[in-house]
Amino acid sequence: MEKNLAGDSIPRPKWRKVAYGGMQIGYDDNYTDESFLEEMVMNANVVRRDLLKVMKDSVSISQYLCIVALVVLVWVHTLESSLDENSLLLLDLSLLASGFLILLLTEEKMLSLSLLLRYLLNISFFTTGLYILAPIYQTLTRSISSDSIWAVTVSLLLLHLFLHDYSGSTIRAPGALKTPNLISCISVNASIVASVFVASRLPSRLHVFAVMLFSLQVFLFAPLVTYCIKKFNFGLHLLFSFALMGLTLYSIYALHRLFFLVFLLLVLLVNVVCPYWLIRMQEYKFEINGPWDEAKLCFDITD
């Protein structure tokens, strides 16, 4: 209560909760009454995640790790001359045909003639340009030592894996609402440059063309194919992923036992250990919401 000049008591106005309006007469700037915390809510937006669901979501990461590992295995066998250019071209055609078939079967417009013609036209331009540029790729790094080439290639592949969009596709998928972001484009460029460095150490133009076609098919179109499979049927996505893991582990085991052990531990870390850590860390999440200004999330946290 305050007093006027005559000494009479003046009732203090009731405090109101306002965000913008300056100080209220008779109250400090940081004053709150007993009703201020009535609207406080704890852990209102914390999503409780299921371990099995997180493990299923992590399969996409292991799937792409296997794809990149298979690409590296093809590079190694090609550089060691255990895989000739004719076998590589046959592998390229097999991947191209199977990729076409999967895309057509998972599209809403199944076996559309116009879609097939559009894909074939784009692929023909793509392969023609790649064949013309093959001699340039072959001599591009002739003045650079091989040790530097391998070091840069490994670094670019690690950058590619770190920046890759594991929930989407490297190119816009049919029916997708958004295009790949800048980070995903940087990841694709890193993989392409790594492919060029490896191809520059091959002996013939046909070798370079076959390896570049294989690498670009995988890095550009494999994420699109796996995205379409996952969108079409999640059970088929899991089956395809586990088959790919088995093939990769067998191939690495045939090449080197130590690499097999390292890759097996990496797959277990991604699919088992990391999801378990994420679920355990959920226990320590603590969020308080109340009648005060707070930052608003700009994305859907339920994804």
Say if CB 61 and CB 166 are below 8 A apart. yes
What is this structure's pTM? 0.78
Host H or E run for residue 9: strand 9-10
In this structure, what token pair is assigned to residue 245? Answer: 């893991």
Of 293, 102, 131, 280, the closest CA to residue 212 belongs to: 131
Domain parsing of the chain, residue ranges: 60-231
Q: Closest Cα partner for 54 from 286, 240, 274?
A: 274
As a whole number of angstroms, the distance between CA 34 and CA 37 comes to: 7
Averaged over successive runs of 10 residues, the pLDDT of the chain (303 residues) comes to 51 65 66 68 72 88 93 92 88 88 72 69 85 88 87 93 82 61 86 92 89 91 88 90 94 91 94 89 73 59 49
66 Cβ neighbours under 8 A, 6+ residues apart: 241, 244, 245, 247, 248, 267
